[in-house]
């Protein structure tokens, strides 16, 4: 019997499927002929990252639901990759991409409102499971980076997302430091060389970035060096990281007070400037002092002061510390990719709970997108640092709308070739990238002058008080 091949809307392609297994026969075709529907190559890549949700039920549903956790997650990720002018347009494009995969008995919902209600209902059960599984999947590409460098460089930083100016947004997130519109605070931990997201927290606009870091610290991978700017300072956060055995390298300034010569005999064991953090409140509370190492990079007005709990100069030299901290800029590039390249400078949801869900799935899509590019680069033995996030987003968006026009093997191969071709420029820049002329306005920021931390010698009373902590710290 002749089989008429008709290209229709894309479908899921599960890992390991080949040949006719990647196609599904349409049942409602007139004249007795059957139509073969090709599954979408983009959905095939995404479904591998969402495998932990495939058999996960909806715990809050009291009846059969069409938007299962797996189907809802797939639609949410596809909506993030789309450039539709509104959320409903993005939903229609995502549903058109995945609708053909849901045959009789496996259908998905039809309305955007139903999808969002399902995502809200399933958030408490789905998001922790999915985030933990994505971190497990991220260890494989991160382990390849460990083969090239001694440390796994993770940077923590926070940024704020603008929200629609509605009453519900102001009650849910509040008006932050701009004093004009509601904002949501997101604190992220990003691998600086590839931009791969590791963990994140979402809170009100006036939330605490330090508190978010303390929540995410236990899930940091082994042998990771945490990089942070001047916002992540203070005895509570440093003592917590040091107690958990998490190495860190954080920039400090004039808002930090340090003590020297608390135990002069113990300082001779290490090379460099050994300093101590021991506020008066901690002295009265019976907490031991914290021994750290102060590293100065540069001189004069351009001097940068870094504080680390890696006391051995053999493990982290002054030169290596300066080169490593310069790579912290990768966290800023991640926010640029999210807000500019992906188009999430301002969220579209007008309700507070829905805005939180929208931002959560935007960050999940960023993590899946980066892992997809890293996996394609590793197969072709391409340096993962050369991947371009902007080109990667453009390729996935083109595949979202056009990927089902080819056969399964050709479509997947074309997508893989397109992903590995999304590389950064490999030439050496000879001129600075910044603009030659910048007009002076009332909003032009003033030049940043980094002040050194305030350092003083320990008093005799502090030395006597520190004797009871001499052995556990300097041993």
Element (H, E) at 252: strand 248-252
- 474/238 Cα distance (integer angstroms): 17
pTM: 0.85
- Judge contact between 352 and 360, C-beta under 8 A: no
For residue 140 the two structure tokens come to: 């494989």
Question: What domains can be seen in the chain, in order of their start residue?
Answer: 129-353 (3.90.350.10)
pLDDT of 363 above 60? yes
- The stretch 121-130 carries a mean pLDDT of 94
207 Cβ contact partners less than 8 Å away, ≥ 6 residues apart: 185, 187
Partners of residue 295 on adjacent β-strands = 306
Q: What is the pLDDT of residue 421?
A: 72
136-153 confidence digits (pLDDT tens): 999 988 887 766 668 999
Comparing C-alpha atoms, which of 301, 187, 313 is closest to residue 253? Answer: 301
| Mean pLDDT score, 231-255 | 94
- Distance, in Å, from the CA atom of 104 to the CA atom of 27, rounded to the nearest integer, reads 10
Per-residue pLDDT at 409: 53
State the Cα angle at 376 between 188 and 412, rounded to 5°. Answer: 120
What pLDDT is recorded for position 144?
A: 78
Q: What 3-state class would DSSP assign to 304?
A: strand
Question: What is the per-residue pLDDT for 39?
Answer: 66
Mean pLDDT, the chain, as a whole number? 82
Q: Are residues 345 and 162 in contact, defined by beta-carbon separation less than 8 angstroms? A: yes
Average pLDDT on 153-177 reads 92
Distance from C-alpha of 405 to C-alpha of 39, rounded to nearest angstrom: 10
Tell me the DSSP string of 7-37: --S-----TT--GGGGEEE-S--GGG--BEE
Mean pLDDT calculated for residue range 416-428: 70
- C-alpha atoms less than 13 angstroms from C-alpha of 139 in its C-beta half-sphere: 10
| pLDDT 10s digits, 386-420 | 888 888 888 888 888 775 555 555 556 666 677 66
Pairing type for strands 290-297 and 197-204 reads: unpaired
At residue 450 the predicted structure's pLDDT band, cuts being 50, 70 and 90, is confident
| Burial profile 193-227: b = 16 or more Cβ within 10 angstroms, e = fewer | bbbbbbbbbbbbbebbbbebbeebbeebbeebbbb
Report whether pLDDT(272) > 90. no
Q: Kindly tell me if the per-residue pLDDT of 97 is higher than 80.
A: yes
- Strand, helix or coil for residue 338: helix
- Phi and psi at 194, nearest 5°, equal -115, -10
Residue 220 phi, psi dihedral angles, 5° rounding: -65, 140
């Amino acid at each position: 019997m002749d089989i008429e091949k008709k290209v229709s809307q894309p479908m899921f392609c599960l890992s390991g499927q080949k040949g006719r297994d990647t196609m599904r026969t349409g049942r409602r075709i007139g004249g007795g002929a059957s139509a073969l529907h090709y599954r979408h190559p983009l959905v095939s890549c995404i479904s591998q990252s969402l495998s932990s949700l495939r058999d996960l039920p909806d715990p809050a549903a009291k009846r059969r639901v069409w938007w299962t956790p797996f189907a809802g997650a797939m639609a949410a990720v596809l909506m993030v990759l789309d450039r539709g002018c509104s959320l409903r347009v993005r939903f229609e494009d995502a549903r058109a991409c995945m609708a053909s995969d849901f045959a009789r008995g496996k259908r998905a919902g039809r309305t955007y409102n139903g999808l969002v209600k399902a995502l809200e209902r399933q958030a408490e059960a789905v998001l922790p499971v999915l985030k933990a599984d994505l971190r497990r999947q991220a260890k494989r590409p991160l382990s390849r980076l460990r083969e090239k460098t001694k440390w796994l460089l993770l940077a923590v930083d926070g940024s704020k997302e603008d929200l629609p100016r509605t009453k519900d947004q102001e009650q849910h997130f509040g008006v932050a430091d701009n004093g004009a519109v509601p904002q949501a605070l997101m604190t992220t931990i990003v691998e600086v060389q590839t931009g791969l997201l590791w963990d994140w927290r979402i809170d009100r606009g006036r939330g605490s970035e330090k508190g978010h870091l303390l929540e995410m610290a236990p899930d940091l991978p082994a042998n990771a060096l945490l990089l942070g700017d001047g916002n992540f300072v203070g005895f509570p956060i440093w003592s917590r990281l040091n107690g958990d055995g998490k190495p860190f390298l954080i920039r400090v300034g004039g808002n930090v007070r340090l003590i020297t010569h608390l135990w002069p005999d113990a300082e001779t064991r290490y090379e460099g400037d050994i300093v101590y953090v021991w506020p008066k409140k901690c002295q009265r509370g019976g907490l031991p002092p914290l021994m750290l190492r102060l590293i100065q990079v540069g001189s004069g007005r351009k001097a940068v002061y870094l504080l680390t709990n890696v006391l051995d100069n053999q493990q982290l030299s002054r030169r290596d510390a300066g080169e490593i901290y310069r790579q912290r800029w990768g966290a800023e590039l991640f926010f640029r990719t999210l807000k500019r390249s992906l188009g999430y400078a301002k969220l579209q949801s007008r309700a507070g709970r829905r805005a939180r869900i929208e931002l959560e799935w935007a960050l999940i899509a960023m993590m899946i997108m980066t892992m997809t590019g890293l996996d394609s680069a590793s197969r072709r033995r391409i340096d993962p640092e050369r991947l371009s996030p902007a080109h990667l987003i453009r390729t996935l968006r083109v595949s979202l709308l056009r990927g089902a026009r080819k056969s399964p093997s050709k479509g997947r191969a074309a997508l893989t070739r397109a992903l590995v071709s999304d590389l950064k420029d490999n030439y050496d820049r000879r001129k600075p990238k910044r603009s030659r002329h910048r007009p002076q306005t009332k909003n032009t920021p003033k030049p940043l002058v980094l002040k050194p931390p305030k350092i003083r010698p320990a008093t005799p009373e502090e030395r006597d008080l520190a004797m009871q902590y001499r052995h556990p710290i300097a041993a």
